[in-house]
Amino acid sequence: MPDLTKSQQAFAEAVGLMPGGVNSPARAFGAVGGSPIIFASGQGAELTDIDGNRYLDYIGSWGPMILGHCHPQVVRAVTDAAARGFSFGAPTLAENRIAKLIIQTVPSVEMVRLVNSGTEATMSAIRLARGFTGRDKIIKFAGNYHGHVDSLLVAAGSSAATLGVPNSPGVTAGCVQDTLVLRYNDVEGFAAAMDTHGDQVAAVILEPVVGNMGCVRASDEFAAALRRQCTDRGAVLIFDEVMSGYRVALGGAQEVLGVQPDLTTLGKIVGGGLPLGAYGGRREIMQQVLPAGKVFQAGTLSGNPLATAAGAATLTELIENSPYERLEALSSQLAEGLQQCAELVGGCVQRVGSMMTLFFHPGPIRSWDDAAAADTDRYGRFFWELIERGIYFPCSQFEALFVSAAHTESDIQRTIDAALEAAKAVS
């Protein structure tokens, strides 16, 4: 095991300063035991902790670092923007630039509004859908995580699932009374709910490729049913692509599925590693947002120059020097190697593009019910076996891992070798 003395000391201090010692529960190691590793720097596909240990990174800041850490073009763009000023509280040309890039690349987006996070994007999209339709009810799916929005923090995945608090204290009954929670990939269950509530449903929101109960893809039948029912009943279909946007393809999961939502929420990659989110979609819906319309949404730092610079530089690189063919080859190589691990532990591997999960469950994993049956204790032991070998995987069975364009074939092979050793150690 690497020497983690400084990390442990820093975390012990952090516990007295911040709730649980972290600023997001996904960073806590509650699902794997022990205390979080404290990092000092990242370069390419590697992270270095404050004790000087180096790891191949498959978190990538939970998805944003698709180009790897400290990509030269992104660093240069942020540095140049910082020299001109951090924030003006007024429009800049950088906002136009990134808006054009988003509209160019995401099939369903005709207009876009920039915000500061994925949570803000989903919160705003829900409010917009209600304002546009004049309806109240929202349908979401168990195991899909849409940020810490009160009305959506019901049967959530990610850290909420890891910590066993799918319904958070502080979320009132009134906030969730209009939220219907259904089973993911259950076409019949969804149809029945729409038969009963369809004329009251403002929006149906889902992760088309889920990353917060592990990597789970919406089936073609399920995605088509959602689109058809929402069109027929006048509900707004929202794809939460905060994680899958620009990750599984340049056009996101909607490109992979061949289904266009009415609204799309974005985050993570769209900000290039800095705090930025966005929501966008059909022009007639987006025109309802203040000041063009009456649906209120605002943010002092929305579209700030540093975040838009990082995001625009990242998207430009993805467009002009597409890494997707390379990412597919690397990810396929890793998935094939992890399948050998799955056979040792009675698990399965699920992958869409460069995001994937080694489930400690035979699978296939189609819904939260399936994912929740995974052997999380064994996954926790597997995680620490990988740490000992210099590989940084998600600190929860319910989080997807990510391959970056900075990984090499030798990195992937080193990871497979380490994972096979780790799987043998816990089998």
Q: Name the one residue in this structure whose structure tokens are 């070998």.
A: 389
131 φ, ψ (degrees, to nearest 5): -65, -40
Helix and strand tally (H, E) in the chain?
A: 15, 16
Q: What are the C-alpha distances in Å from 191 to residues 124, 134, 151, 232, 335?
A: 26, 22, 22, 12, 34
Active site residue 145: yes
**Which residue in 58, 145, 246, 379 is the catalytic one?**
145
Q: What are the C-alpha distances in Å from 35 to residues 4, 15, 45, 250, 379?
A: 10, 10, 23, 36, 16
User: Could you give the angle at the alpha carbon of 210 between the alpha carbons of 58 and 424, nearest 5°?
Assistant: 45
User: Could you give the angle at the alpha carbon of 122 between the alpha carbons of 357 and 325, nearest 5°?
Assistant: 40
**Which residue in 240, 262, 370, 411 is the catalytic one?**
240
Nearest to 50 by CA among 36, 67, 66: 36
Cβ(201)–Cβ(138) under 8 Å?
A: yes
- Which residue type sits at 343? E
As a whole number of Å, the CA-based R_g of the chain is 21
Report the alpha-carbon distance of residue 125 to residue 147 in Å, rounded.
12
Report the alpha-carbon distance of residue 355 to residue 60 in Å, rounded.
11
Nearest to 405 by CA among 298, 317, 302: 317
SS3 of 100-113: the string is HHHHHHCCCCCEEE
**Which residue in 55, 137, 268, 379 is the catalytic one?**
268
Q: Which residues have a catalytic role annotated?
A: 145, 240, 268
